[in-house]
Structures are given as structure tokens and as C-alpha cells.
Amino acid sequence: MPEESPRPPLPPFDAETAARKVRLAEDAWNGRDPERVASAYSPDSVWRNRSEMFSGREAIVAFLRRKWAKELDYRLIKELWAFRENRIAVRFAYEWHDDSGSWFRSYGNENWEFDPLGYMRRRIASINDLPIAEADRKYRWPLGRRPDDHPGLSDLSL
């Protein structure tokens, strides 16, 4: 296996580099490209997402393909909650609809642990889904990266 190149920002994190790592993750997830997202994780990364537990980039790609086949028009905002050394905690909310047109806002927390090269080697996510009316959506930017001037979670009181 080829040696991994560093993926900055690298630990140990400070407030600025932790916030930058969070925004980079948000941007990648909003791109909804499973291979691109998986490339930010160590080859042996361990995940717990809701009740699923798995490891490795291939499993991450398969998971994300299933996720985004179900969660349509997915838009996500992540916000830094806490950091220390090689760990970051985030809170997040994303909006999506299913194939019947029912909308949801999914809320949660993630705990991240990074290896020295800046790859996430552990991701633990707890998520709850709230059905919402289409009229109650707060994320209406075009699919892709959240615009810099769009409010964050705290600004939206989420």
C-alpha cells in the first residue's frame, strides 16, 4: 500500500485548525462524493454511525453510497463543539428528503480521532431524525458547498 501524504490541518489542533478541519469535512460531505469523503479517513478507520459499525475505506464508500441513495438533496452544516490534541467533537444538522418527498432534519454529534498525518481514524456518530415540512427547511442553498455567508447552526438556533 502506498504511503499516505499528510492531510492538513494536522494534530495537535488549536481553535483555528480544528474549525478548519470541521469546515473541510462539511464541504466534502456536501459534495456527496463517497470516494472523496472516504479519502479523508485512515485506511483502517473505525466508524459507528447510528447502529452500524464498520471499518476501512471500502466500507465507508459503500455506506455513503447507501446513505445518499436514500437521503436525497442532502445539505449539511457542521459546527465545532470541542477539541483537544488529536480529537475533535462536532455537532451537526442536515436536511434531506426520501423518495416519497418527506423531508427530515437529522441532528447529531460526532467524535473524531485523527492519526498524526491528519486522517480520521475513528468516527463515532449519534444521530436523530426529525420529520419536517418542506416549508420549514432552513437549508436552501444550491446543492454542494454551503455558501460562506449562509448562517451556521448556532445562528439558526439549531
**pLDDT recorded at residue 1:** 53
**pLDDT recorded at residue 4:** 87
Percentage, residues of the chain above pLDDT 70: 99
pLDDT over 90 at 43, yes or no: yes
**pLDDT recorded at residue 100:** 98
pLDDT over 60 at 157, yes or no: yes
**pLDDT recorded at residue 89:** 98
Question: What is the overall mean pLDDT for the chain?
Answer: 97
73 sits in the region (left: phi over 0; alpha: psi -120 to 50; else beta) called: left
H helices within the chain, ranges in order?
A: 15-31, 34-38, 57-70
Task: Enter the DSSP assignment of 99.
Answer: T
pLDDT digits (tens, 9 = 90+) for 63-89: 999 999 999 999 999 999 999 999 999
**Long-range Cβ pairs for the range 21-24 (8 Å, 24+):** 21/88, 21/114, 21/118, 22/78, 22/79, 22/80, 22/88, 22/90, 23/78
> Per-residue pLDDT averaged across 9-29, rounded?
98
The span from the CA of 115 to the CA of 146, in Å, is 27
137 neighbors 27 (Cβ within 8 angstroms): no
Domains annotated for the chain, with CATH where assigned, are: 15-136 (3.10.450.50)
